[in-house]
Amino acid sequence: MPLSKRAAAEFIGTFWLVLGGCGAAVLAAKFPQTGIGFVGVALAFGLTLLTMAFAIGGISGCHINPAVTVGLWAARRFPAKDVIPYIIAQVLGGIVAGGVLYIIASGNSDFSLANGFAANGYGDHSPGHYTLLACAVCEVVMTMMFIFIIAGSLDKRVVAGFAPIPIGLSLTLIHLISIPVTNTSVNPARSTGVAIYVGGWAVAQLWLFWVAPLIGGAIGGAIYNALFSSE
């Protein structure tokens, strides 16, 4: 498959992840009387990944996350020459999704970017006011385990065709654990896609949600490759 088509699939997949997951957080989490809450948002992120994994997994591998791309490179499952094009496509997909979500959300007179717009943060901007250290550790560890699960699910020894299920469920579980800590990133494209619309503190704190997931992804991929790779 040409790189251009694989990058296009990554753009579309990341667009859907950010629109579906962050859209659930912004539009439905606190909706009067029928709000879906943290559990609903966690499921939304997991379902967007699961559905896209089936839709584009055979085209691009459905990374839709720079940390996954780096993690699979570290696990020797992805060529270095394609890492940057994938990440560019993912970030652009996230930004476009953030723009679409902003247009939809701003159609409500009560909407305000001051409410966070599903941006990730630490300290005063952490949902539970967790420290920078706590948020950094959380993001590194959660991303590490996410990539570890992805690498294991894609292993040749696993029955083919079922990988999207554990991968999607793992993202749901990660959100159930860490939404109170950082609003859950584990994905720099997801964080960037909404932070640039919030501006201010969200952009100032965005560095953490690039550094920590990329480190965690690289560690997770390297650990799986060193200990358990069938290749």
Going by C-alpha positions, the residue among 8, 141, 142 that lies closest to residue 62 is 8
Q: Has residue 132 got a pLDDT over 90?
A: yes
From 82-91, 110-119, 173-182, the region with the lowest mean pLDDT:
110-119
**pLDDT band, residue 30 (cuts 50/70/90):** confident
Query: Which is nearest to 140 in space by CA: 193, 78, 217?
Result: 217
Please state the domain extents for the chain.
3-110+119-227
- pTM metric for this prediction: 0.95
Angle among Cα 49, 165, 47 to the nearest 5 degrees reads: 35
144, 67 contact by CB (below 8 A): no
Per-residue pLDDT of 183-192, as tens digits, reads 999 999 999 9
Determine what percent of the chain is predicted with pLDDT higher than 70. Answer: 97
Average pLDDT of the segment spanning 21-29: 94
pLDDT > 70? residue 31: no
Instruction: Please give the pLDDT value at position 212.
Output: 98
Residue 158's pLDDT is what?
82
Percent of the chain with pLDDT over 90: 89
Per-residue model confidence (pLDDT) at position 3 = 96
State yes or no: pLDDT of 231 exceeds 80: no
**Where does the pLDDT of residue 35 fall: very low under 50, low under 70, confident under 90, or very high at 90 and above?**
confident
Pick the CATH number of 3-110+119-227 from 3.40.50.720, 1.20.1080.10, 1.10.540.10, 3.40.50.800: 1.20.1080.10
Mean pLDDT over the full length of the chain: 95
Average pLDDT over residues 162-170: 95
Query: pLDDT by residue (tens digit) across 181-229?
Result: 999 999 999 999 999 999 999 999 999 999 999 999 999 999 999 998 7
Of the candidates 88, 100, 108, the one whose C-alpha atom is nearest the C-alpha of residue 11 is 88
Q: Compute CA distances 119 → 25, 68, 89, 95, 132, whole Å.
A: 10, 20, 20, 12, 15
Degrees, nearest 5: CA angle 150-137-76: 30
